[in-house]
Amino acid sequence: MPRPLGDLEDAVMTRVWEWNRPVTVREVLEDLQKERSIAYTTVMTVLDNLHQKGWVRREAEGRAYRYEAVSTRAAYSAALMNEAWSASDNPAAALVAFFDMMSPEQRHALRDAVRMVQIDDPESSEPAEHTAPEQAPEAGSEAGSEQGPQAAQERATGEGDEPGAGASGAGR
């Protein structure tokens, strides 16, 4: 399972992800030095650590290496979100709380992502083409519930439902 990158690891990986090509320690160093004072050996150590953790692959080029990202920043972010969600003792309530923190733009992106997954999943019980972006209720919105986030949390935790009807919707 991934763990969050440290500040320097994130700064290095940001460059590797943004440049989207194999990079050298020297290239990353020169770019980082625009923002902070940092030693070549520090950047080399960070890239070596990222290689050992599986975030970058490297290929020898003379006496140096070229480093390339193993996955995208989006995949890294998704893995972190999945780990945090999986660690919750109440995943449905955690999702409701997370949705409640989202901006309207983030909620719109979430609706788009759910539709894409539903389109790709032939076993999905709800066809994506039946819900237009402007019709999908936002978490905690009036369209979803007149009571707001508290009622949404009760729905997610199964409180107030009939017996056996938890967050998964079973029994409904």
For residue range 127-163, list pLDDT tens digits in order. 444 444 444 334 344 333 333 333 433 434 444 433 3
pTM: 0.57
pLDDT of residue 51: 95
Question: pLDDT confidence of 2, banded at 50, 70, 90?
Answer: low
CB-based contacts of 161, cutoff 8 Å, min separation 6: 155, 171, 172
Average pLDDT over every residue of 19-32 = 96
